[in-house]
Amino acid sequence: MYMIDLITKKKLGQSLTAEELKFLTQGIADSTIPDYQISAWAMAVYFQGMSNEEIVAYTKAVIETGETMDLSQITGFTIDKHSTGGVGDKTSLVFGPIVAALGLKFAKISGRGLGITGGTIDKLEIIPKLKCDLAIKDFIKVVNKVGMSIISQTGNLVPADKKLYALRDVTGTVDSFPLIAASVMSKKIAMSADLILLDIKCGKGAFVADVKNARKLAQLMVHIGKSFNKTVYAIISDMNKPLGKAIGNALELQEVLLSLQNQGPEDLKILVNNLVGLALLGAKKVSSLEQGIKQSELMFANEQPLKIFYEFVKEQGGDVNYLKNINNLPPTKHIINITTNKSGYLDFINNYALGELSVILGGGRTTKTDVIDPMAGIYLKQVHGQKVEKGSVIMELHTNKPAALHDSFKQLASTTFAVYDVQKDIKPIILEIIM
């Protein structure tokens, strides 16, 4: 069997067999297939797609390149959650402590930034000494003791996807539905949690621009899960505007801590409440989503979730004092104010460009070997739909990049928002729920 034949077959829109997919994924995992051929196959998939049967077979082949995780040693009902990524998405770091405080177990393997989106692991790794590469036995130990743990993808869990994940980021194949669905679900199924929660982002700051395609992706993921006898719930959430006010690793971590003190942005809180509600429903702790949401809302006013977050960081070796003093960290060399030249109602019109801006400020990667500046990013001084006055600061750009680049930063920032005389319709954060 030759890789060039598989590339050609997929280029022509034909489905690969289970045996061919096993050859492909094993070659990715053990590096016997070179990056350029893997990238060529991924691009062929991007244009030609995969059948549902092929996606399930590919997901199975990816899982079989590594080990599956036995979570039977975790006491209680286990939840795994995944977001398809968005601008300012720090949901897992708020969801985990809330759901753990309500008696469920949050066991998550997470990734790094992909495209314009920030990764949960990137955010956590700015905490000094925190270990995200725990052995599975230590991961399970933390979950049992604290109620939650988040670690990076281990070398033995779906290794084929780990390599392809990095290549997709730099070859323009991030937004391929089959590759997104198989990547997410292979990890989730290998994790063996009792319930898989999916947050499918939809809008100009997401891989999926409209509700129709977001629904298609969500249904595909749920289909894959059901093919492996897994319970999967999916939320489609709006990403036409940033989630919260902070974009960038340290800035988002600050917002997480504010949220866990019930002082965070309302849109993030609503999203977390719905996810927690679904988790409680899936665990049969409540009889309706509304009851679950109510329990989550009450927990936001409790100090227990913040204590759990600190304990989680401590158990994984992290410096809790760093978190407690995060608002006193030295700022970036430059903070650039972006203002509006008219009064009216603020509308973020290009959320994708806002994500791109965060990356070039230093808060993300353009190649898989780039080093992220943890302090770089964007802080929104005004929120979508708000009435603003002429001269108001719309956002702060935090960067250590040289001053010679600042005019280009300002120009890109000016394309991300508009101010209108009349307030535009504001979409709810939750668009659909698929179960």
Pairing assessment for the beta strands 195-202 and 78-83 based on DSSP bridges: parallel
Among residues 22, 82, 108, 188, which one is catalytic?
82
183 noted as active-site residue = yes
Joined tokens for residue 256: 């997480």
- At position 139, the amino acid (one-letter code) is F
Contacts 24+ apart (CB under 8 A), 287-291: 289/433
- On whether the CB atoms of residues 175 and 168 are closer than 8 A, the answer is no
Q: How far apart are CA 159 and CA 30, in angstroms?
A: 9
Joined tokens for residue 85: 């990524």
192 noted as active-site residue = no
Strand order across the beta sheet in which 246-247 lies: 246-247, 377-380, 393-399, 334-339
Q: How far apart are CA 217 and CA 178, in angstroms?
A: 8
Among residues 183, 186, 259, 358, which one is catalytic?
183
Among residues 81, 123, 187, 398, which one is catalytic?
187
Joined tokens for residue 238: 């709006």
Q: How far apart are CA 185 and CA 198, in angstroms?
A: 10
**Which SS3 state, helix, strand or coil, does residue 98 take?**
helix
Q: How far apart are CA 277 and CA 233, in angstroms?
A: 11
230 noted as active-site residue = no
Q: What radius of gyration, in Å, describes the C-alpha atoms of the chain?
A: 21
- On whether the CB atoms of residues 161 and 189 are closer than 8 A, the answer is no
Among residues 108, 123, 162, 168, which one is catalytic?
168
358 noted as active-site residue = no
Joined tokens for residue 409: 């930063």
Calculate the CA 232 to chain-centre distance.
Answer: 17
168 noted as active-site residue = yes
- On whether the CB atoms of residues 190 and 68 are closer than 8 A, the answer is yes
Identify the residue whose tokens are 């590759």: 179
Fill in the DSSP letter of residue 294: H
Q: How far apart are CA 141 and CA 318, in angstroms?
A: 16
Other Cβ atoms less than 10 A from the Cβ of 318: the count is: 21
The catalytic residues are 82, 161, 168, 183, 187
